[in-house]
Every structure is written in structure tokens, then in C-alpha cells.
Structure 1
Amino acid sequence: MNSLKGHPKGLYLIFATSTAERFSYYGMRAIFILFLTQALLFDKELATSIYGSYTGLVYLTPLIGGYIADKYWGIRRSIRWGAVMMGLGQFLLFLSASMLHTPGWAHGLMYGGLTLLILGNGCFKPTVSSLVGQLYTPGDKRIDSAYTIFYMGVNVGAFIAPLACGYFGETGNPDDFKWGFLLAAVVILLTIVIFETQKSKYLLSPDGKQLGVLPDARQQALSAEQAKSASAGEQSSRKWRNLGILAALALVFGTLFYLWLGNDWVSVGIFTACLVFPISILLDSSLTKIERERIFVIYIIAFFVIFFWAAYEQAGASLTLFAAEQTDRVIWGWEMPASWIQSFNPLFVVLLAYIMPAFWAFLNKRNREPSSPAKQAIGLLLLSLGYLFICFGVKDVQAGTKVNLMWLTGLYFIHTMGEIALSPIGLSMVNKLTPLRFASLMMGLWYLSMATANKFAGMLGGLYPEAGKEKILLGFRIETMYDFFMIFVIMSGIAALILFLLSKKLRQMMHGVE
């Protein structure tokens, strides 16, 4: 029997592959903002902008990668070439960190490495996520726990990575950052080896067929009734009409964002895509009324998820700077590297990965388990509470004074509870609400909301207080860390309240999907 502890063995291959790939990503992320500020000597505002653009594009390209996987390559080929590009990207970052004395080369190689990492992530991320759901028959109650296990694999890699890459890269000598990037490159090669040697043995559907070989769009043909509903000429006319609508919308939204953001083309592109691409699926004539309403649920929740990740993703930027500059990291005479603090969150995820699902199961037995939208709202509320917690730690603290490590630890613990409530449940919800023919593409659209959030996070991170620089948001002056953290308390708290109020209606629109 092709199962292990109640789940298909393919889930554990995906677990191992994702662990290795996430090690590469989070290892690089742990030291990247420090590399920009300490080795390349960028100021904090520019560094957080680059960080936000990179992480934003990392989550934007899955939209394109999902389309390629669905229509042309299939999941397996997308995973392989995605890993190859990411490995090359990490190696270019290693070369960049090896050429700090020639800034032109260092900067060029850094941007080249980021480009390959972005493209590789685009191919890898939506495909490996959508593959989890295909291991099970529709309606299988194990899917939620499968995504939690998958998410735990992601966090095992994310926990080890900052410790290892931070140990070799963050030594106090800017020349040593290169070793952290090289380690990330080596581990991504391990991803390729694991996947390529085991995929045919374990990636099987419930009926024993090989998964991910053919594009999903070829596997799910339209029903005869749908196929006959329009002539070839009408289909062609509808296609050009839809393209015209999307082009017009892209022009309008792109112009508005340009007037707001100026020459920040990455932000203009991401924010425009976030509005235009979701409409492209809604224009598909094959969608039934129920399918369309379920997709609307995904879109509405994705909007609120933007506020979650915009606050959460301060971890790799402003919270890392806060850890390095304003947190007392000395333990019994030894100073913990700032990058190691990024391991707190994935460690808490691993510890809580079984507790939170058990809590939902406890409520389920008493018919009191919240719906998926309500769980997303709970995640947002916990995020707000995490920032409120650290606000108590930094309130009235003088500039230059370092606060106790417990404040940052407490923030990450509360945020982790919010993350477990929101992220794996969100992935499972997308899988259950999406028609199979749009599986990878819709997962890409889900990550598109995270792309918007990450770029937004970079913009908000630019408000990090710096001596001699005036930071203002909506007329409010950001002068202290208390002011800065309160931005996220208010933003995520309001989003949580609104989503709570909408959750009952959203559950109705899910038409029985739980």
C-alpha cells in the first residue's frame, strides 16, 4: 500500500524536496538585508526596497510559472528547471559577495542572481504546492493535515537555514557573506537530486497513475456540453475580446500606479498584475456559477491576506535590522548572530504544527470549528497582537538602547500561531475551491497576493526610523520603533475585524466546501 502513517508516500517526497528548497531560500533571506547594508553599504531605505522588490517578484512569477506548468511543461519539468535556475542564482550571489572590492561587478552579479532566483521560484513554487492536493481524491479529509505536514517541511528547512547560513555568512567580516550564499547553492542541488531520483516511484495519484507528467489542462478536458456551447468563431471572438479587456485594464491600472509611485516599475508591475490577472480567470466562459463564486471567495480572502504578509514579512527586513541594532542578543557572554533570530519562527511552526490542527479537531468534534475564512481572520488578529506585544517592549525606550530578546521572541511566537491559522489553511482552501484545470494557475494567483504583500512590506519597511531622515505615513511622523510597530497593529487589526464580519457570507459562497 502506497501510504505512510495515513498519507501517501509522495507527500513525504514533497516534504523532503520542499525542505531542501526552502533551506536555500531562507538561508539567503536570513543574511540578504545584512549583506546589502553591511557589505554593499546600501542605506536602509534602499536595502528594504530591494528586499521588497525581490520577495515581491518571487511571489509574482509563480503566476507565470503556474501557467507554463498547466499549459506546456507539466509539474515535474517545472520543478526541475526551477531548482536549476535557483541554484545558478545562489551561485551568482556567491560571486557577488566575492567581488566586494569591485562594486560594479558586485552589484551586477547581485541583480543577476536575484533575477534567476525569482524566475526559478516562479517555476517551482506553485507546482510543488498544487501537487500536494493531487495525491488525494476530491473531498478527502486528510488534505488539510497534508498541507500542514507540507508546511512543516517548509519550516524545517527555514529553521535550519538561518543557523547554517548565518553561522558561515554573518561573522562580522563582510567578505564572509559569500559562504552563506554558497551553502544555499549546494543545498538547492540536493533538491534536484532528491526529486529526480524519487519522483517516478512516489508521485502517484490515488489510482496509481504518474502525477505531474502532463500539463493539468490536458488532463481535464471540458465536458461535451461546454465544448459545444460556442462555435470556433465565437470562441476566437471571445478570446480577442477578453484580451482587449485585460489590456485596457492593465493600461488604466498601470497608469494610475505610475502616477502614484513614479518610476518604481517593479511596484507598478506587481500592483497592476494583482488587479488584472485575477480578472482573466473570471472571464473564462467555461466557469459555472458555483465555480465562479468559489473563486470570488479565494480573491476576497487573498485581499485580506495581503495585509497579513505585509506585516509578517518584516521578519527578513526591518525586524532583522531591529535584531541587529536594537536587541540585546548576548546570552551568557555569547552574542547570537542577528540572522539566527529568523530561525525562531520556523522552530515555533514545527512545535505548533500538530497542536493547532489538534485544536481545530477538538472544536470540530463539538461542531464549533471556525470556517476557513474565520481562521484567516484569526491569523490576522494574532499578527496584530504580536506587534502590540513588542510595542510594550519598545515604548519610551531611548534611541540606542537595546531591548531584551524576549520581546522579539514573543512577537515571533504569537505571529507563528497566526501563520499556522492562516497559511496552510489558505493553501488547502485554494486547492479545494479551484477547478482542476486552473490548479497551478490559481495557486500562482494566491501567491500573487503574497507578491503584492511583499512589495508592500518593502515599502512599509522603508519607514524604519533612521537618524537624520524624516519618515511620514498618511501625515503621521514615524520617529520611534513604537510608532513604526503601531502601523502593523492598526493595519492588521482592522483587516481582521472586517474579515470576521464577512466570514459567514464567504462560507455560503463556498457552497459546501469546508
Structure 2
Amino acid sequence: MGKKKGYLAEEQGGDEKRKSPTICGTNYPVSIGFIVVNEFCERFSYYGMKAVLTLYFIHYLKWDKDLSTAVYHAFSSLCYFTPILGALIADSWLGKFKTIIYLSIVYVIGHVVKSVGAIPDVGDSTLHIGLSMAGLILIAFGTGGIKPCVAAFGGDQFEEEHTEERRKFFSIFYMSINAGSVLSTVITPILRSDVQCFGSDCYALAFGVPAALMIIATVVFIAGSGLYKKSPPEGNVLLHVCKCMGFAIRNRWRNSDHEAKREHWLDWAEEKYPKRLIAEIKMVLRVLVLYIPLPMFWALFDQQGSRWTLQATRMNMDFGAFVLKPDQMQMLNALLILVFIPIFDMGVYPLIGLCKIKLTPLRKMAAGMIFAALAFGAATIVERSVIETVVEPPPASTSLLKVLNLAEGDISVGVEGHAGLFPQPIASYQDPGEYKSLPLNGFTQAVTVTLTFNGAKHYYVKSFSEEEAYSLVVHNDDLGIHCNLVKDNIKKSENGMAHLRFINTLNEDFNITVKDEHFYVPSGFGISNGEFVVREKYPNVRCESRSRNVTLDLGLLDFGASYTFILRGPPEAIELTKIEDVHANNVHIAWQVPQYILITAGEVMFSITGLEFSYSQAPANMKSVLQAGWLMTVAFGNVIVLIVAEGAGMEQWMEFLLFAGLLVGVCIIFSIMAYFYTYVDPDNLDKMYGDEATEEAEDDLQKNPKDGMDMRELGQSESGRSTKM
């Protein structure tokens, strides 16, 4: 019992004590190298898989945005509920080493199942969904289960007196987390998009590489087995806390009518538990009460991988030298974290101190909330600009209509019951401009369209369906004026692809090949099928007929745009008229940088400060309880997003504004709670109680050996666990 929990400095080998080997004569154990590499690979596998997860739901499983967002945050929430299970298993049953190995195997199985579920030829859509969900659940149990164990296990490898080396290890450990995050959010989107398999984006590879990294992480960790110091299961302090609280509640309930009231409800546990333990739980509860408003911060922070990624898909991602993927933008947070931590520690905080402003930990956390709210204010402004390039789908009992005049002269268009819909004559080959809203009397309606050409009126009856967009394509020939009603694609591609179609005014059929897509365009104003193609310049597109083979210059087919190309010209050549039916994404993705800067500044002030505050306000043996509480705030934050995504049913910019407003309101509540909070020094417990806990534990041991052992364990220190993982 003479060695502290979590920091066994030596291993017993018979009567001889031996120390773990160190690196080049330093005080750093060789074993930490295996742990750091393991953490890098594990974080690569987790963040790499998660980076493409939202787009996988939308493009592969064909879910809508709200369902995709809800499932994404349900998975994130489960990842932060399961650490409690991992801590219980490690501390009460298997120990950290075996827990990491067994749950890493579960983790690997989850990745493999997830990767197999992304192979198109494996079963029907129901099987894909089943495999995907099963894989995500296993991954959540794996990553969450090992989360509270790996950092603490690394700390266990150091000698008790080497506190400075241990502190530097946690800095290196934190760097490995961010390095894995940055690299994975760069690489896996490239594997998804640039590597094509099964005729589309290769999600199987994008999930398979993280699976391979998790296998490597597990193998590396096992390879260092002979070098580790392995602490046996020592009992979980969270269980002791729950037992003490439960006993206090039961005892108060049984005796409330017979005894005078006590100062605090936990004092009802004094009959069985040491006063020091009760005092420690009181201190922890005061901090946990402050945690109540915190989930709202995480509700905003974790939307970087869902709503913000979806916002990026509708933006211009061209930086000239390279084109960014929408799911790669998440790497900016990890990069900025590495930059901001030293800037805040060595620059911002000292400058604020020079201004005679007392910046307490709770004030820092409140400021972090404000920064996060400002980030969502910036996201709202960006979203408002983004939707200006989007054609809003028509509501029920309404359709959209525009007119494309390919006749050799101006035409006037009248629509029955809506005389002012097209008030001005439409010039030949004029860009049709914006869609007009056409109200309908029900799901479908036959509408009479009047065309006036060269002074003569022509009447046509066309059938319109609600919630559809149409182009009325008008042309003339020797027999008179004609028109075709064609359904349009107004929905922007969520992966930045461009949509195009062709209209052939010439007297021969054409086959046109654009990259891997083929278009058949019949003669006599025939219209091809519409297809999506990758965003890029197309200067040499093959166009073939029975009599000739020519190349067409389509120019740049930009992010998210829909184009109609009209083939026209003299018999000896082909001229192209390019019409942009739906505007390209003209808001550059660089406009997301301010919101990432603000949310990362908020993270530095909120998350890191919150951990420091929590640890400073709790006794050493209660840190794992606060760790569990902190992780639960992240889990509940994701639950909030899940509820709003499925239940709010509002436009995206309004949802962003709602979250910003809610966080400001929560920040005010938190600031009031912080104002009444009194900072404490847990070390004062030693002065107040001295060896009282130990004496009471010994008495309890004589009465009940099992409970006595529990009490003695509570007096020993437990290593801290990292949360930003």
C-alpha cells in the first residue's frame, strides 16, 4: 500500500526490484514511445473516419441532411457516454492494459464492419445501413472505452518523482492527438473523392485506411507489452462516490422523521463513510453543478463535422494551386489549436493581466462561450450569402417556370390565370434569368400557355406538377412555333459537382462524352439527359455524329452550378451557347476561416481552462469523477444537436442563429453561477481532517474488511486522464 495508485514506479521480480528501461539515459521510459504511436494511429483512425461520415450518410446511404446530422451527433454522443464504462472495466475488473487491448479489438472490428458496409456490391441498402450502424456502435464502444485509459496508462510508466517528465509526456501525447487529427482530415477526404471505386466516391477505402491504422495502433501497443508497468485493478472511485451518495439518500429518507435536519444532505452518510470523503464529494458536487450549462458549448463546437461541413459543400473551394475538399476544412481547428495555445498562454493572458483585469478560470470559460456564439454568428452571415446561389425548391401547390427562347425573334408568353408572370417580350437566346413561381390548384394542373410570335398567337396546354421546376423551351421552323416543357434540376450537388445538359438545334444527332458521362442529343431541338460531372475545365470534349467528329470547349463547369449548352451554328461548325440555370457557388470557403478562428479561440478558453479549473477544485482521488462529468457534458451537447436537427425544422441560417442565441443565454446563466462560486483549495482537507479518514477506514476494516479496503483505496491518488481525445 506504500505506492501511489497509477504510478507504480517499480515492478517486483522475486526479491529484486527492477526499473523499466529508459530512452538514452533520460528519465523517459521506452514504453511511452509505443503509447504515443498508438495514440497517433488511433486518433488518425477516429478522426479520419469521422471526417467523411456526414457525406457518407448523404451521398452513399442517401439520407437527408437532418437525419445525417442527427445520426452523426448520436454517434458522437455515444463516444462520450462509453468512457464511463471503460473506466469501470479498467479500474474494477481488467486494469488499464487489458482494457485497452480488448476494447481496441472491438474498435478494429467496428472499423472493419464499417468498411465492409461501404462496399456497394455487399447486399442491399438495408444491409449497408445495418453494417454501418453496427460498425459505428462498436467504434463508439472502442474509442470511448479506451479514452480514459490510454493517457493515464502513459502516466503510469513514469517514476513517481519524475513529475516534469510526466508533464512533458502529456504535451507530446496531446501533440500526437492533433497530428493524427490534422493528417487524417487531409488524407481521408482525398481517398474518398480522388480515388474512384465501384464507379463513384470510394468510401470503402476512406473507411478502410482508418481501419488499417487502428490495426497498427493495436499491434504497436501490444508490441510494447513487455516494457509496460501494469497496475492491477484498484477499485473505481466513481463507484465509491455513488455508494456514499446512495447511502446518504437512503439514510435521510429512513430517519427524516426521527432526527433533526443536518447541514447538508450528504452528512447523512457520516454513520458509514469518513467525513473527509463526504467533504470531498461536496467539493466535487459544487463543480458538477457548474457543469450543468456546459453541454450547450459542445452543441455548437461539434457541429464542425456536420452542419459546417454541409455548409462547405455549397461553397467555392478553389484556392488556385489546389482545390480543397469540404470535409478537409475541419483540419483547421486542430491546426489552430496548436497555434493558439502558446499565443494565449504567452501573449493574450499576460497582456490582459497587464491591464489589471483579473481573468479567473470561470471568466475565461464564459469568454470561450461568447467566442463560440460569435463563431455561429459568423456562420449565420456566411450561410445567408451561400443561399443566395441556391434556387429554393417550390412549396406545395406551386411549381417554378422560366422560358428559354430559341426562336428567331422575340416572343411574348402568357400563362392562364397569371397574366403578369412574364410581362416583357423574351429575346432570342436570351438568358432566361430567375424562375417565376406558378401557383397550382392541387398536385398537378393543366395550364394553357399562350405564345405570341410575329404577331400571331399560339396556344398550348401543358401539365405542371407541384414542387417541380420547369423550362419552357420555345423554337420555330418552317411549320411554325413549337414549345417543349422540360423538368429542370435545381438541386445543388452536395459534393461540388456541376450538372449539365445539351439542346441540339442542328439537323443531326450527336453523342457527347464529358469525362465518364455520355450524352445523346437528338436533332431538331432535342434535349439530352442531365448528368453531374466533376468540377473542372473542359476545353476538349468529344462530340460525334455520323458525319463528323469535333471537340467542344465547355469552359469551367463550376462548383454546384447547373448548365444548359445549346448546340447551334452554320453547317460547317458548331457554336455553343452556355446558360447557367443554377448559379455556381460564388462564396469562397475561405469565408469559413473566421468562424473556425472564433470557435478555436473559444475552445482554448473554454475546454482547456475548464479542465484546469476542474482539476484544481477537486481532491486528487476525485479527478476521475470530474473526468466522467466533463465527458458527459460533451455527450449531452451532441444530444442537443440531435434534438434540434430532427425537431426544429427551420432554415439552416436560422438554426445557426438559434444556437448562438441559446449559448449567449446559457453564458449569462453560467456567469451568474460563477459569480456566486467560491474557489477552494483541496489541499486544505489535509489540514482539516489530517489522518481522520485513515483512522476511520481502519475501524471500518475491522467491522467489514471489504468496505474497509474500499475506504483505504479512496485515500490514494489517482492519475489524471486526458479529455481532448
TM bucket (normalised to shorter chain) is: 0.7 to 0.9
Q: Secondary structure at the match of 2:668?
A: helix
Work out which of the two has the higher radius of gyration on C-alpha atoms and give 1 or 2. Answer: 2
TM-superposed deviation, 1:133: 6.3
Residue 450 of structure 1 pairs with residue 438 of structure 2: no
Q: Is the 8 A contact 1:315 1:342 kept in 2?
A: yes
The change in CA–CA distance for 1:322 and 1:361 in structure 2 (over 3 A counts) is: closer
Summarize the alignment of residues 363-382 of structure 1 with structure 2, pairs less than 5 Å apart. Answer: 370-382=359-371
Q: Which has the higher contact order (CA 8 A, sep 6+)?
A: 1
Segments of structure 2 that go 5 or more residues without pairing to the other structure are: 1-20, 255-268, 391-584, 685-725
The residue number in structure 1 matching 2:343 is 355
Distance 2:84 2:657 in 1: 33
Structure 1 match to 2:216: 190
Does the aligned pair in 1 maintain the 2:617–2:680 contact within 8 Å?
no
C-alpha contact 2:61 2:125 (8 A) present in aligned 1 = yes
Q: Is the 8 A contact 2:237 2:625 kept in 1?
A: no
What is residue 140 of structure 2 aligned with on the other side? 118
Normalization by structure 2: what TM-score?
Answer: 0.54
Question: Which of 217, 229, 232 is the equivalent residue of 2:235?
Answer: 217
Q: Which residue of 2 aligns with 1:170?
A: 193
* 8 Å CA contact retained: 1:95, 1:109: yes
- Give the match for residue 342 of structure 1: 330
Q: Distance in 1 between matches of 2:237 and 2:226?
A: 18
Counterpart contact for 1:430–1:442, Cα < 8 Å = yes
CA distance in 1, matches of 2:132, 2:217: 23
One-letter amino acid of the counterpart of residue 327, structure 2: S
**What is the one-letter code of the residue matched to 1:110?**
S
State the partner residue of 2:677: 506
Residue 485 of structure 1 and its aligned partner are, at CA, apart by: 1.6
Residue in structure 2 matching 1:387, options 376, 380, 385: 376
Query: Does structure 1 retain, via aligned residues, the 8 Å contact 2:92–2:236?
Result: yes
Match of 2:292 among 303, 326, 338: 303
For 2:326, the aligned partner's letter is A
Q: C-alpha separation between the residues in 1 aligned to 2:164 and 2:128?
A: 50
- Judged with a 3 Å threshold, the aligned counterparts in structure 2 of structure 1 residues 495 and 441 are, in CA distance, closer, same or farther, namely same
The answer to whether the 8 A contact 2:298-2:638 is kept is yes
SS of the residue corresponding to residue 304 of structure 1 reads coil
Say if 1:21 and 1:188, in contact at 8 Å, map to a contact too.
yes
Kindly indicate whether the alpha-carbon contact (under 8 Å) linking 2:616 and 2:682 is maintained by their aligned counterparts in 1: no
Q: Which amino acid is 1:85 matched to?
A: V
Q: Residue 322 of structure 1 is aligned with which of 311, 315, 320?
A: 311
381 and 408 in structure 1: CA distance in 2 versus 1, 3 angstrom threshold: same
**2:353, 2:359 within 8 Å by CA — same for their partners in 1?**
no
- Note the C-alpha offset of 1:444: 2.8
Query: Deviations 1:325-368 (Å, cap 9, x if unpaired)?
Result: x2211222753211111111111112223222324773698696
Q: CA deviation at 1:38?
A: 0.2
Q: What is the distance in 2 between the residues matched to 1:106 and 1:341?
A: 27
- Measured in 2, the distance between the counterparts of 1:511 and 1:114 equals 40
User: Hey, what does 2:705 align to over in structure 1?
Assistant: none
Per-residue CA shift, 1:464-505, capped at 9, x if unaligned? xxxxxxx54xxxxx33x4312212221222223333333354
**Between Structure 1 and Structure 2, how many residues are aligned?**
444
Shift in Å at residue 386 of structure 1? 1.2
Aligned counterpart, 1:81: 102
- In structure 1, give the amino acid aligned to 2:48: G
Contact 2:237 2:622 in 1 (8 A): no
459 and 238 in structure 1: CA distance in 2 versus 1, 3 angstrom threshold: closer
CA distance in 2, matches of 1:285, 1:146: 36
Does the C-alpha gap of structure 1 residues 43 and 349 become closer, same or farther in structure 2, counting only changes over 3 Å?
A: same
Give the whole-Å Cα distance in 2 for the aligned partners of 1:138 and 1:130: 16
After superposition, the C-alpha distances for 1:59-85 in whole angstroms (9 at most, x for unaligned) are 101111111112112222222222221
Q: Cα RMSD over matched residues?
A: 4.0
Deviates more, 1:112-121 or 1:147-156: 147-156
- The two structures have a TM-score, normalised by structure 1, of 0.74
Q: 1:310 to 1:365 in 2, by over 3 A?
A: closer
| Aligned positions of 1:71-470 closer than 5 A | 71-99=92-120, 102-131=124-153, 149-171=172-194, 174=200, 176-198=202-224, 201=227, 210=229, 213-217=231-235, 238=247, 241=250, 285=273, 288-324=277-313, 326-332=314-320, 334-359=322-347, 362=350, 370-395=359-384, 397-398=387-388, 400=390, 402-435=586-619, 437-440=621-624, 442-462=626-646
1:353-408 deviations in whole A, cap 9, x for unaligned? 32223247736986966333232222212111111223333346525155221221
Deviations 1:193-245 (A, max 9, x none): 333334664x6xxxxxx3x52224389999xxx9xxxxxxx999949949x99
Q: Percentage identity across aligned positions? A: 20
Identify if the C-alpha distance between structure 1 residues 221 and 483 changes in structure 2 by more than 3 Å, giving closer, same or farther: closer
In the TM superposition, residue 457 of structure 1 has moved relative to its aligned partner by 2.0
| CA distance in 2: counterparts of 1:391 and 1:27, whole angstroms | 27
- Cα deviation per residue 1:275-312 (whole Å; 9 max; x = unaligned)? xxxxxx99994563541233124313432321111011
CA–CA distance in structure 2, aligned partners of residues 322 and 237 of structure 1: 47
Amino acid at match of 2:216: L
